[in-house]
């Protein structure tokens, strides 16, 4: 199933009650363009990062925690290397930040991008993180000038995307798959 997203319809709703981090610490730990993810928590800090490196085992554990099957780590590493943008949502800790959300996208870097592997660890689901992760990803893609974004949604999460303004590809008729067996 394919969705097309009109990029200019997205807004941010960051609250200003979220605990924060000093800018130098934020950049040192999470890299350039890292940003605090607002949350209802008064003691935990959540951070979006596009450049903090992933521990592949931790990443695969996150993706398996949402029910996806295990993938060979070497291939995952290569897939990440070939992705346009990888976003991690980290629960901040000065020593051991934990990966609690993830999304990545592939594409030509100019016209088209496709988002994959959108996941929030079950403990933190239904707290608005998934939506904010999508906003952060789309903002990041917008900065590159990309005009059209697609993704493939499992039937169970179609309403998650629809409520954020994604459009269901008409009648599911223009979409084709080929799987190597
Ligand atoms: C889908 C997923 C990323 C959503 O993350 P989340 O942090 O739980 O979502 P949010 O709390 O930001 O929810 C935003 C809205 O979507 C709704 N929503 C959340 N999960 C949903 C789901 N699975 N199906 C339909 N709607 C959903 C919420 O109720 C909320 O609605 P509201 O704005 O009216 O309150 C998360 O549930 C997940 O990781 N699921 C397993 C992996 C997956 O299916 N990924 C998508 C691959 S296509």
The residues pairing with 88 across neighbouring beta strands, listed in sequence order, are 49, 102
User: Which domain covers residue 86, as residue numbers?
Assistant: 12-146
Of 124, 136, 161, 179, catalytic: 161
Q: Does 66 map to a domain? A: yes
Mutate to test the pocket of ligand 1, among 126, 134, 136, 164 (most ligand atoms within 8 A of CB): 126
Q: At what angle do helices 56-65 and 73-81 cross, to 10 degrees?
A: 100
Q: What pLDDT is recorded for position 175?
A: 78
Q: Does 161 map to a domain? A: no
Q: Does 156 map to a domain? A: no
CA of residue 119 to ligand 1 center, whole Å: 9
Q: What pLDDT is recorded for position 89?
A: 98
Q: What pLDDT is recorded for position 178?
A: 84
Q: How far apart are CA 134 and CA 129, in angstroms?
A: 9
Report the half-sphere exposure of 122 (CA within 13 A, side-chain side).
Answer: 7
Q: Which residue has the tokens 């979220």?
A: 18
**Tokens encoding 147:** 């005009």
Q: What pLDDT is recorded for position 96?
A: 97
Report the half-sphere exposure of 60 (CA within 13 A, side-chain side).
Answer: 13
Mutate to test the pocket of ligand 1, among 157, 159, 161, 163 (most ligand atoms within 8 A of CB): 157
CATH number of the CATH domain containing 73: 3.40.630.30
Which protein residues touch ligand 1 with a CB less than 6 Å away? 66, 118-120, 125-131, 153-154, 156-157, 159-160, 163
CA of residue 63 to ligand 1 center, whole Å: 14
Number of compact structural domains in the chain: 1
CA of residue 152 to ligand 1 center, whole Å: 14
Determine what percent of the chain falls in helix, strand and coil, rounding each to the nearest 5: 35, 25, 45
Q: Does 7 map to a domain? A: no
Contact 73, 64 (CB under 8 A): no
Q: What pLDDT is recorded for position 17?
A: 65
Active site residue 136: no
Cβ-proximal residues to 169 (8 Å cutoff; 6+ apart), any chain? 1, 2, 3, 4, 175
pLDDT along the chain (181 residues), means of 10: 44 58 96 94 95 98 97 97 98 97 96 96 98 96 92 92 90 77 70
Q: Does 125 map to a domain? A: yes
Q: Where are the alpha helices (DSSP H) in 41-168?
A: 56-65, 73-81, 129-143, 158-162
């Amino acid at each position: 199933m394919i969705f097309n997203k009109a990029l200019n319809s997205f807004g941010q709703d960051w609250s200003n009650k979220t605990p924060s981090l000093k800018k130098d610490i934020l950049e040192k730990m999470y890299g350039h363009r890292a940003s605090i993810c607002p949350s209802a928590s008064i003691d935990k800090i959540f951070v979006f990062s596009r450049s903090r490196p992933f521990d592949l085992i931790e990443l695969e554990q996150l993706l398996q925690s949402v029910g996806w099957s295990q993938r060979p780590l070497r291939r995952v590493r290569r897939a990440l290397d070939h992705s346009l943008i990888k976003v991690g949502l980290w629960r901040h800790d000065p020593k051991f930040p934990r990966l609690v959300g993830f999304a990545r996208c592939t594409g030509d870097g100019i016209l088209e991008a496709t988002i994959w592997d959108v996941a929030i660890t079950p403990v933190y689901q239904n707290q608005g993180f998934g939506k904010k992760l999508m906003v952060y990803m789309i903002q990041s893609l917008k900065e590159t000038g990309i005009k059209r974004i697609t993704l493939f949604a499992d039937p169970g999460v179609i309403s998650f995307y629809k409520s954020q303004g994604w459009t269901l590809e008409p009648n599911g008729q223009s979409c084709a798959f080929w799987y190597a067996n």
